[in-house]
Amino acid sequence: GEGWKKLTFETTENLPSYLVAFAVGPWDVVNWKDIPPNSVRKTPLQLRGIAAKGQGGRMDYALEHSGEIVAALENYFDIPYPFDKLDILAAPDFAAGAMENPGLITYRDYLLFVNDDSPVGERQGYWGTHAHELAHQWFGDLVTMPWWDDIWLNEAFATWMGNKIVHQLHPEFHTDRGLMRYGMYAMGQDSLASSRRVHEPIEDYTDIDSAFDGITYAKGGAVLAMFERFVGEDDFRQAIRDYLRAHSRGNATSDDLIQSIAAHSKDAKGVAAAFHSFIDQPGVPELTVKVDCSGGMPILQLSQRRYLPLGSVVQRIEGQHWGVPLCVRYEADGKIASQCELFDKAQGEVTLDTGSCPTWVMPNADGAGYYRYTLDPKSQQQLTVAFDKLNEREQTVYAATLDAAFSAGTLDASAYLQSVPLLASSDVRDTKLAPTGQIGWMIERIAKDEKQKDALRAYGRAVYGPMLKELGIDAKDGDTDEDRRLRSALIGFLAGTAKDPVLRQELANRGRRVLGMSVGDEAGDGKLHTDAVSADQLGTVIWAASELGGKDVFDALEKHFRNTADPSIRGDLLSAMGNMDDKALTERARKLVFEKDLLRRNELAPLLGSQAGTEDDDRRAELRAWTDQHFDELAELVAPKVPRVLYMYSANMCSPEDAKDLDAKFAKRMADVEGGPRAMAQAKERIQLCSDLREAQAKHPLVIPEYKPR
């Protein structure tokens, strides 16, 4: 009839229904140059960018670099991009980060609006997210799991492959270390009694959302990286190619993948069993390693059990073990060597391939293993002395091992502080900054009074202040991405956790200039000046202005928020509004949540997240009371991700009373929502573990040492 238009589409290849997508505009459609043919794909690939009307010009960077990611993936898989076109869509109001719909991959708009001058974290975020979603075109789209218990075949693979491809294209991003850190993050969740398996049966609809967690993405990705190293990169790649070709345009299970990997290994039966041991049982293996040179040939005496934090209710299972692809590095006779073996017993030993007793042993060579370790005291001391001989990844593992000991209660706070100069001396950003989180936890949880808190802050300033002074607060020509990320982290720690008064005031002044406000005798014009500071510093200085400001700052923040469409700037402004310390202003910020058509669904997090993260107990209590009062409205806003309301309410809870309060308010609310039961169990367990660790660590005298750089 009149006014109607008929569109006829080509027949789509076999796809699961969850990957079908439509997008309704109005849109800018940017017709980009085709991705050229290569040795794998013989025809050009159509590429387009789609953004909200008027925003299409912001997609140039994302489109310009899409082709090199596609080509790198095609080269790895030796299979052409599986579809006839590639559209990437910048969605202005999208609760998920991105979704791999074939031919129409959708992203939160800010992920595709980056350029060469964007904050380094956002620019690298584009590469990581885009590579992840493009990897899904093979893992998930070309070959799909038959049921949700195998969702890790999609998400773990895209996590592992995305990091691998970005590291190949941009080694200066250090995404190999990023994947390792992501695996370490998963170990925290995997240590819980309420943790799930990577390959977890789905018995109820509430289980499906729980499967999209750190265990699936991060543990799964880390396990893949571990077995890739053990099997060998070339053989592992061939196994992946065979798997994809065998199941193209169809379904495949965990067994299908593991059989393919095992077939390309030197020990098919052992590797298959080992892989299953990591995906079919929860938990992180902890290896106890003792170096024994008493019999001539050096031997590593080994045992394994599940790692548990202090206060865990898990009952260890006698004889429980994993098939651990154990790789160690050591030095003997002045030569550094490495050795790998599959350790698949609860107890055993490994003879090192050297006739001399090693001067040190690193039980997780290259940090490639998804396991924790403890060394006998003598060997731990030897490893500490050899710290500078460890590579970048091993130094980060060394730091993570101290964190694990602290959480297990085998290392007290004073002893941990003694290790800070060593960690801070590392040239590796991840290792250098590792103590900042623990110092913050000590300030928040075990410092007995303001005097002790101030002493910990002063210690933090003594350690990290000189680093920022040397690096400089402002960007310089020749800065690497690592320089920029280190500078941002140092500023965040020193101004936030360590509360450096001079730095805080300088940042606040800069933030006021960005907001067009007066600074001393310097008048403001009321306009937003995002170019007044570097892109990396923009969010920090706006936050600092709110931290030290009052109603005048809030007024400026709100005015600019209502008049900007830029998603990154909106997030910075919202976070700052949520950060205000005044009760009336925090209430005013929360009223924005329910103002019609003001906030996007993905903008609740920066506003309410900054309130949930406050150190002020009164502000936390006010937010929790408000959340309880408005639960139904909030649940509707974030649906179907209702557990996000639980996470906000339970943030920073750390006492038995907190656990009881959470149970009373949320047990029934979470019982029948997607992901709710497990989210509730994990939130309560984390509160209990935090309380137990705080109580145990507080029993030891907190001795804050005088900082002496190495």
Question: Is there a single domain that holds both residue 292 and residue 264?
Answer: no
**How is 177-200 classified by DSSP, letter by letter?**
HHHHHHHHHHHHHHTSTT---TT-
The answer to whether residue 53 is domain-embedded is yes
615 vs 370, residue with greater confidence: 370
If phi > 0 it is left, if psi is from -120 to 50 it is alpha, else beta; for residue 296 that is left
Question: Is there a single domain that holds both residue 169 and residue 278?
Answer: yes
The CATH number given to whatever domain includes residue 243 is 1.10.390.10
pLDDT attached to residue 700? 95
| SS3 call for 395 | helix
Picking from 327, 330, 328, 429, the residue whose alpha carbon sits closest to that of residue 389 is 330
Distance CA 75, CA 36 (A): 14
- State the catalytic residues: 133
The answer to whether residue 468 is domain-embedded is no
Question: Is there a single domain that holds both residue 263 and residue 312?
Answer: no
pLDDT attached to residue 12? 85
Residue with tokens 């008064």: 501
| Residue 205 pLDDT grade (very low, low, confident, very high; cuts 50, 70, 90) | confident
Q: State the burial class of residue 6 (Cβ atoms within 10 Å of its Cβ: 0-12, 13-18, 19+).
A: exposed
The answer to whether residue 25 is domain-embedded is yes
| Residue 9 pLDDT grade (very low, low, confident, very high; cuts 50, 70, 90) | confident
- 3-state SS, 539-575, equals HHHHHHHHHHCCHHHHHHHHHHHHCCCCHHHHHHHHH
pLDDT digits (tens, 9 = 90+) for 144-203: 999 999 999 999 999 999 999 999 999 999 999 999 999 999 999 999 999 999 999 998
Beta bridge partners of 251: 144
The answer to whether residue 674 is domain-embedded is no
| Residue 13 pLDDT grade (very low, low, confident, very high; cuts 50, 70, 90) | confident
What contacts 24+ positions apart, CB below 8 Å, involve 310-313? 310/407, 310/408, 310/409, 310/689, 310/692, 310/693, 310/696, 311/688, 311/689, 311/691, 311/692, 311/693, 311/696, 312/191, 312/192, 312/193, 312/689, 313/193, 313/685
Mean pLDDT, residues 294-301: 92
Among 88-97, 543-552, 659-668, 697-706, the range scoring the smallest mean pLDDT is 88-97
CB atoms within 10 A of CB 302: 21
pLDDT digits (tens, 9 = 90+) for 110-137: 999 999 999 999 999 999 999 999 999 9
Question: Is there a single domain that holds both residue 68 and residue 149?
Answer: no
Contact (Cβ atoms closer than 8 angstroms) between residue 308 and residue 404: no
pLDDT digits (tens, 9 = 90+) for 52-108: 999 999 999 999 999 999 999 999 999 999 999 999 999 998 878 899 999 999 999
The answer to whether residue 66 is domain-embedded is yes
The answer to whether residue 93 is domain-embedded is yes
Tokens coding 44:
């050009």
Tokens coding 13:
């290849």
Please, what's the largest Cα pairwise distance for the chain?
Answer: 93
Residue with tokens 């960007």: 475
DSSP-H helix ranges across 20-107: 60-64, 66-77
Question: Is there a single domain that holds both residue 297 and residue 268?
Answer: no
Domain count, the chain: 3
| Residue 571 pLDDT grade (very low, low, confident, very high; cuts 50, 70, 90) | very high
Domain end call among 376, 399, 419: 376
Mean pLDDT, residues 235-242: 99
Encoded amino acid at 243, one letter: Y
pLDDT digits (tens, 9 = 90+) for 298-343: 999 999 999 999 999 999 999 999 999 999 999 999 999 999 999 9
Residues of the domain holding 269: 139-282
Question: Is there a single domain that holds both residue 308 and residue 179?
Answer: no
Question: Is there a single domain that holds both residue 183 and residue 196?
Answer: yes
The CATH number given to whatever domain includes residue 293 is 2.60.40.1910
Mean pLDDT, residues 213-218: 96
SS3 content of the chain, % helix, strand, coil (to 5): 55, 10, 35
Question: Is there a single domain that holds both residue 212 and residue 263?
Answer: yes
CB atoms within 10 A of CB 283: 22
Contact (Cβ atoms closer than 8 angstroms) between residue 139 and residue 154: yes
Question: Is there a single domain that holds both residue 269 and residue 338?
Answer: no
pLDDT attached to residue 1? 61
Domain end call among 265, 282, 299: 282
Domain end call among 58, 88, 123: 123
* Cis amide leading into 171 (omega within 30): no
pLDDT attached to residue 657? 97
pLDDT attached to residue 296? 83
Q: What is the pTM of this model?
A: 0.95
Question: Is there a single domain that holds both residue 160 and residue 244?
Answer: yes
The answer to whether residue 581 is domain-embedded is no
Residue 615 predicted with pLDDT over 90: no
pLDDT attached to residue 206? 85
Mean pLDDT, residues 704-708: 90
Residue 365 predicted with pLDDT over 90: yes
The answer to whether residue 186 is domain-embedded is yes
pLDDT digits (tens, 9 = 90+) for 620-647: 999 999 999 999 999 999 988 999 999 9
Distance CA 541, CA 506 (A): 9
pLDDT attached to residue 473? 97
Distance CA 514, CA 522 (A): 13
* Average pLDDT taken over every residue of the chain: 96
Report the relative pairing of strands 104-108 and 98-99 from DSSP bridges: antiparallel
Distance CA 526, CA 180 (A): 45
Mean pLDDT, residues 513-534: 97
Residue 679 predicted with pLDDT over 90: yes
Question: Is there a single domain that holds both residue 303 and residue 327?
Answer: yes
Tokens coding 407:
């959480």
Question: Is there a single domain that holds both residue 321 and residue 335?
Answer: yes
